[in-house]
Chain A
Amino acid sequence: MFKDTFNKNMVNYWFMASFLIISVMIFLFIFIPIITMLLNPGDISTAIADKEVINSLLVSLKAAFTATVIALIFGVPLSYILSRYEFLGKNIVEAIIDIPMAIPHSVTGIMILTVIYGTPIGTVLKNYGVMIVDNFWGIVVVMLYVGIPFMINTAKNGFSMIDEELENVSRTLGASQIKTFFNISLPLIKNNLISGSILTFARGISEVGAILIVAYFPKTAPVLILDRFNEYGLSASKPIAVIMIVVSILLFATLRIFQYKNNRDS
């Protein structure tokens, strides 16, 4: 019996030890580059004083924020339809929504340019004065394209978790379908909407490849970092990169705290 317990404990010990070592290794893999950058930021003060750096950061934040808001407004209705209704070709629609997550960034850029320059949609947009190449809205379009799958999928999962009977009861209590959506369904997926926004925003702000192709100007922070690296090397690009890391961490920490508070209150 003693031997059995010993063997069992040994198995537990090896299991825990091996999982712990592997977990620490993968955590350090993520953590070491971040902490190395933060501890050796280079000449931050010059970077902060550099107007181009600040502008690029503002462009990144504004564009990612705009893309996230558009993703919320346009992604949520689709995610609701996908979670509530069965229709022919639903699987295909879902697969297409996931495509932006799977294709190389440069290909995304080429695809968007092809639509602008090679299809009637581009011509119509041009006729109405809607230009997206090399301007702020081009960056928003790219960020929206690469980020929207995260919003749709997260919101869809949220709606799928809601018991449909809640919506049914709301209807019998006097709420129309639209009132039921805003009073019951939407508040219940608040956390999913926050998570979806974080993911969409994060995906947008980190995009480089497609932005380089569609809208090189105005420069976003990642584009500027790449530019400085190509022209002046590591030490010139590092301080901007550090600022970018700090801004991102602060932003996501704020959103997570908001989400945590929200969870606790409910």
Chain B
Amino acid sequence: MIELKNISKIWKEFQLKNVNLKLSEDYTILLGPSGAGKSIIIKCIAGILKPNSGRIYYNGEDITDIPPEKRNFGYVPQNYGLFPHMTVYKNIDYGLKLKKFGKLEREKRIKEISEFLNIDKLLSRNPTTLSGGEQQRVAIARALVLHPKILLLDEPTSALDIHNKETIINELKKIGELLPIIHITHDFLEAKMLGKNIVFVSNGEIVDYGDKEEIFNNPKNEKIAKFFGYNIIKYNGKLYGVEPHNIIVKKYNSNIKDELAGEITGMYDFGHYKKLIISLNDSTIKSIYYGDDLNIGDKVLISFKKYVVLND
């Protein structure tokens, strides 16, 4: 669907270095830390930024020089970008008017999309009076009403509280069945919940790309593993990546010799489970524990249910 060939771009303090990427129509997440260059990729696809070098293709057609107004790619920025001098209705109507749709068609489409996204009661309101979640839905409605070829979302949940975040994630899942979505986030849990494909971006480069299961279960290197929340553990000269729920914690027993010994240095009680901070020889790891018999200062033994050996 979208293909980036040798894209380089310097924009503000960010830099994209010779990016090559071929995206399918599946829900795609651009994942990576802040400042990695994810926004530049999405802005280049939208046509807002023009790459310094390289070409962008949509279904085989070179669209590098096509201005954003002629691409019909929906774009929702991080802060939603609602026009503060227009009502919600006029915000959604803006693109339809520009594309010269008739009055009846415009009204029909606005009605449909506002019911679909549950914003039909907000149409006469001013965007500044809406909550973050409502603004987000209006911004998505404004993009979807034009029946775009793709929807580009820049950190759509970063400014929302946990409740609104879950609602939007559910809605995005629904929307993802209607059209291809490219979604930027720095939150790997969000990526896990939504993405079919994951593109891991770091320092302006594509570090890893592939199916979600493949990417999350086999982090390519220590840096990616850390970003995905893996514990990095050095043992017998090898570097292991272990997710917190794959660490088995037992009370220390001097008879068992082949397991790693450590000490609990922190404990967070979440009710039905506890998050433990365990100090090993030269590192600190996190694990999940369901029992009640451990305390800070206790010596423990740890083993792994599942792990990956990291390349470097």
Contacts and interface: CB of A to CB of B under 8 A. Distances in A.
Interface of A: 163, 165-166, 168-177, 179, 183-184, 187-188, 266
A187 B85 contact: yes
Given A168-B48, A171-B48, A176 B85 contact: no
A171 B77 CA distance: 12
B167 to A, nearest CB: 22
A179 B47 CA distance: 16
B69 A176 contact: yes
Contacts of A177: 67
B85 A172 contact: no
B5 interface: no
Given A171-B47, A172-B48, A163 B94 contact: no
Contacts of A179: 98
A199 to B, nearest CB: 23
B98 A165 contact: no
B73 A172 contact: yes
Nearest to B99: A174
Contact of A171 (B67, B74, B99, B142): B67
A174 B95 contact: yes
Contacts of B83: 166, 170, 184
Given A165-B78, A172-B75, A183-B94, 20 more contacts: A163-B81, A165-B81, A166-B81, A168-B43, A168-B46, A168-B68, A169-B76, A171-B67, A171-B68, A171-B69, A172-B47, A172-B71, A172-B74, A173-B94, A173-B95, A173-B98, A173-B146, A184-B83, A187-B85, A266-B84
Contacts of B69: 171-176
B279 interface: no
B94 A170 contact: yes
Say which size band chain B's interface belongs to.
20 to 34
Nearest to A184: B83
A173 B72 CA distance: 7
B164 interface: no
B161 to A, nearest CB: 22
Interface string B24-51: 0000000000000000000100111000
B79 interface: yes
21 contacts: A165-B78, A166-B81, A168-B46, A168-B68, A168-B77, A169-B77, A171-B47, A171-B68, A172-B48, A172-B71, A172-B75, A173-B94, A173-B95, A174-B72, A174-B99, A175-B98, A176-B69, A179-B98, A187-B85, A266-B84, A266-B85
Contacts of A166: 81, 83
Contacts of A165: 77-79, 81
A170, A171, A172, A188 pick with most chain B CB within 10 angstroms: A172
Nearest to A176: B69
A184 B91 CA distance: 11
A6 B81 CA distance: 51
A264 to B, nearest CB: 13
A147 to B, nearest CB: 27
Contacts of A188: 84-85
B75 A169 contact: yes
B162 to A, nearest CB: 25
A168 B98 contact: no
Contacts of A169: 75-77, 81, 139, 142
Contacts of B76: 169
A177 B76 CA distance: 18
Given A168-B43, A187-B85, A188-B85, A174 B146 contact: yes
A90 to B, nearest CB: 16
Contacts of A168: 43, 46, 48, 68, 75, 77, 81
Contacts of B46: 168, 172
A266 B129 CA distance: 12
A170 B48 CA distance: 10
Contacts of B81: 163, 165-166, 168-169
Leading 8 A-B pairs by shortest Cβ distance: A173-B95, A169-B81, A174-B98, A165-B77, A172-B75, A171-B68, A165-B81, A168-B48
A168 B146 CA distance: 16
Contact of B68 (A163, A172, A184, A187): A172
A165 B73 CA distance: 15
